Structure 1
């Protein structure tokens, strides 16, 4: 596959690799944290990548995948938490709460750049897809997985209401009942269950077979008339776009108001100490 020559793409990407094969662009998460965890570089670069691809008429389909064994471990807590220390303090006032609200909405807009991309996006998931990783693939048009894929809307386990798109987008994909189960329990599900509930369309034996299938599907999408494909995406989004946007604004305000808690502090401390948390509802 040849290196990308996509219009307006930054030439100094850290969290992504973008390559082109004909009319199909392949976007690969690189980390640089373990498991392609999502740190500041990810959130800064994601909208730059997808807005550039959206603006490129030669790109007619996009495959989104992760490097290495896993799609993404989700939010890079080690990289992100220091910037939120003022907000997470027990006596945070309007200033730090407003700054946190702005940052959450910026992160929401980053993932929404995938969902609002006029070019169809195929997510190819191998290994773990946790938290923010699920938010990200919820913004794709089609999701495929390898047999070893594992999914988890895990924010509840760290005393956080998921606020980047899973709760707003997945109900239309997997149904309200399945979404409530995943979000309220934070449980892990395997690729077989993900396929049964419609989170992924198909599963494949391994990562190589997954990528081959995703690339073939991308080529199939790219062979169709591009303006009609964009029109189909536009029409399909009419029923959900306003509801998703309203839901994202509400959850960002909710977390800016209520996220700091003793349970969140306990979740962070337990994460750092690699032990189970003990929640008290405070």
Structure 2
């Protein structure tokens, strides 16, 4: 396969295993425009590469990802959030949501199993991303948060669609309704991650070890296992993604989301008024 130069990722291939690493360019590997445009391209290439049999998904530096880069994505969100936004900007926003959803879905639909290695913070859209992986590992310092509710957003990139099958409805509701942070030990307890390792180096090594085990198996059978496991839940996932995309295109604009964004940039507590 021809290697590309990516802005938000690096991609390395060795011994039938590819490593896809988030590198930003936003602080904490935040998910800006390059992330959303490059992710589906990368996973389409890996899916089509017969030499790749498993993928390790990692983040560079101290953190896996801070999630959505609010500042960088403002041009996408701004018109739909404008006061009295009409049908045209909301329709465009719906299309943008669906494109972003398809980026995460490219990870879930990749025929090559994906093992996520998480260190440090894994926030919002980053939880959406790892929910699309087949196996999730964490370092002892990892912290997770479905934080969208705290910035007046209904999470719409896949956490609500995929996590019920991973952590169960009750745990998902607790995390989604509070926006609380949980540590690696709690994440392992509820099943969000399969195992916890001492540090970033150890969790990446463990992810590669599992990916190598997968890659040693018959590749077409591995793909068949994944397809069969995904078959029954995929219609429900697709339906959930469609519903939340339409819901957010219609109802995301509010005074509260403007207040939430202002509070983030001004580094203060928001004051929500339900308007």
TM range (shorter): over 0.9
Partner of 1:208: 201
Looking at structure 2, the residues matched to 212 and 66 of structure 1 have their Cα atoms a distance apart, in angstroms, of: 13
Cα deviation, residue 118, structure 1: 0.5
Looking at structure 1, the residues matched to 25 and 262 of structure 2 have their Cα atoms a distance apart, in angstroms, of: 23
Cα deviation, residue 8, structure 1: 4.8
Looking at structure 1, the residues matched to 193 and 238 of structure 2 have their Cα atoms a distance apart, in angstroms, of: 23
Preserved CA contact (<8 Å) 2:76 2:93: no
Partner of 1:4: none
Kindly indicate whether residue 113 of structure 2 is the aligned counterpart of residue 113 of structure 1: no
Partner of 1:154: 147
Cα deviation, residue 153, structure 1: 0.3
Looking at structure 2, the residues matched to 231 and 8 of structure 1 have their Cα atoms a distance apart, in angstroms, of: 27
For structure 2, the residue ranges without an aligned partner over 5 or more in a row are none
Partner of 1:29: 22
Looking at structure 1, the residues matched to 58 and 13 of structure 2 have their Cα atoms a distance apart, in angstroms, of: 14
Kindly indicate whether residue 35 of structure 2 is the aligned counterpart of residue 42 of structure 1: yes
Matching of residues 215-254 of structure 1 within 5 Å: 215-254=208-247
Cα deviation, residue 53, structure 1: 0.1
Looking at structure 2, the residues matched to 235 and 8 of structure 1 have their Cα atoms a distance apart, in angstroms, of: 31
Partner of 1:171: 164
Query: How many corresponding residue pairs?
Result: 275
- The DSSP-based 3-state class of the residue aligned with 2:73 is helix
Partner of 2:64: 71
Partner of 1:136: 129
Looking at structure 2, the residues matched to 196 and 271 of structure 1 have their Cα atoms a distance apart, in angstroms, of: 31
Which 4+ residue blocks in structure 1 deviate beyond 3 angstroms? none
Looking at structure 2, the residues matched to 88 and 243 of structure 1 have their Cα atoms a distance apart, in angstroms, of: 28
Looking at structure 2, the residues matched to 83 and 113 of structure 1 have their Cα atoms a distance apart, in angstroms, of: 21
For structure 1, the residue ranges without an aligned partner over 5 or more in a row are 1-6
Cα deviation, residue 84, structure 1: 2.3
TM-score by length of 2: 0.99
